[in-house]
Amino acid sequence: MPELPEVETVARGVDERVRGERIVAVHFSRFPQPFKTPATRQKRGLEDRKLLAIHRTGKHIVCELSAAGPERNTIPGPQAQWIVHLGMTGRLVVTAAEAPIAQHTHARICLESGRELRFVDPRRFGRLEWRDLGKAEPFTAAGLEPLTIGKKAFADLFCRRTLSIKAALLNQRLLTGVGNIYADESLFHAGIDPQRRAGDLSAVELERLRKALQQTLRRAIELGGSSVSDYVDAAGVKGFFQLEHCVYQRTGEACRRCKSPIRRIVLAGRGTHFCPRCQR
DNA sequence: ATATGGCCCTGGTTGC
DNA sequence: TGCAACCAGGGCCATA
């Protein structure tokens, strides 16, 4: 499932491929809308604008759009945004216009070069949103960015909280971009039991967790993310970080550090994997 | 206020 | 072998 490293990989890939392109046409499927903004308004809001840049905020892909029509080249800076959340199974891929249309393709953004930016999402947990920057503020995520957060801000997030540290890491209002894979993996690398109350962790443990989280996310970005389920990047290529997973989806297998079998429990409604010996 | 659990949705896996 | 029930989970919403 796409989390921060996967979303970062997709955003970079899309940016490399379509930056500067003009949108000539937009097609939405007429399925029940996986959209935050009605499809007709998104279509109107996208057509005849330029894709100025594509970047990631939390688990969201933000496409900065120019003004529409002739003003495209005279008004500088982004005038609107198209925001893509991949949900669990969402894919955002750049293809040739002739490429066969995959099942569950909900949006096709046709570009001047003849290529298309396609949003495909079987489970339809993804969300598409269009924002007019003349009327609304630029998109921001509720939580803080885990890659750049400092020691004190990180520790403050968990102070006096009674929920489990695993649930806290998944809470997007605290940190934005951490999902089930990277929560489990960083708790393993920090040697912390996911069931512990967030507010009970010592300053030393929290700093170990912050370092582990940042290292894990950086390494995963280097490897193009984790391809579990059917994640692929903007070019349809899989990531490789799943090969370095220590606990996620390794239930019953030997811990890479101590050889104890990895345990799986349900925490905060999510499958949670950990080594009962290494994580205290 | 904070925390928890149900819901959406489909494809892959499990079980009879 | 074939089919149905079950499970996965990010974010949102209702509830305690």
Which sign does the torsion angle of CA A167, A173, A175, A179 carry? Answer: positive
pLDDT mean by block of 10 residues, chain A; 280 residues:
90 95 91 71 94 95 94 91 92 93 92 95 89 92 92 93 93 92 94 94 95 94 81 82 88 92 88 92
Which chain C positions come under 7 Å from a protein C-beta? 8-12
The pair of structure tokens assigned to A67 is: 């003004």
Distance CA A43, CA A46 (A): 5
Q: Is the CB of A269 under 7 A from strand B?
A: yes
Whole-number Å distance, CA A39 to C1' B6? 28
User: Global pTM?
Assistant: 0.93
DSSP at A262: P
What residues of A are annotated to the active site? Answer: 2-3, 59, 270
- Report, in this order, helix, strand and coil percent for chain A, each rounded to 5: 30, 25, 45
Q: Is the CB of A124 under 7 A from strand B?
A: yes
